[in-house]
Amino acid sequence: MTLPYDARYDLNGDGVIDQADAEIVLALVGTSVGDPRYDPRMDFNGNGAITLADVGAVTLLFGARRDADSLPMPLILGGAGLLLLVLVAGRARTA
């Protein structure tokens, strides 16, 4: 299955939505409007704060590529990336 590419989630602009993009958002978790580090482009749900939900929005599109003819990248996570995915998935089930 090929995931739909959305440039808003390709934060490093390399044409692939992957762990590197999620790490950019993760670095801003805990910031909100008024914080000098807050970046509204990373606030995907528009609630005024960057949270794990915003990181989760990126992880849902892992493997999506700008080049629609490419095969999707396999989801290969280890360490903190896997833990993050599990935490985000767990939060989604309890919401």
DSSP designation for 44: T
Q: Supply the mean pLDDT for the chain.
A: 80
Please give the average per-residue pLDDT across 66-92, as a whole number: 50
Phi-psi map region of 56: left, alpha, beta (phi>0 left; psi -120 to 50 alpha): alpha
pTM comes to: 0.69
User: pLDDT tens digits, residue range 7-28?
Assistant: 999 999 999 999 999 999 999 9
Quick one: tokens of 79? 């360490």
Better-scored residue on pLDDT, 42 or 94: 42
pLDDT (average), residues 46-74: 83
Q: What's the pLDDT at 67?
A: 82
